Copies of this chain bind each other. A is one copy, B any other.
Amino acid sequence: MVKLIALYKQPEDQKAFDEHYFNTHAPITAKIPGLRKMEVTKIVGSPTGKSDYHLLCEMYYDSHEALKEAMKTEEAKASGKDLMGFAGELVTMMIGEEVNE
Contact = CB atoms under 8 A, between A and B. Distances in A.
A18 B19 CA distance: 39
Contacts of A99: 40-42
Q: How many copies does the complex hold?
A: 2
B3 A47 contact: no
A43 B95 contact: yes
A35 interface: no
Nearest to A22: B99
A7 interface: yes
Interface in A71-101: 71, 92-100
Interface of A: 3-5, 7, 39-48, 51-53, 56, 58, 71, 92-100
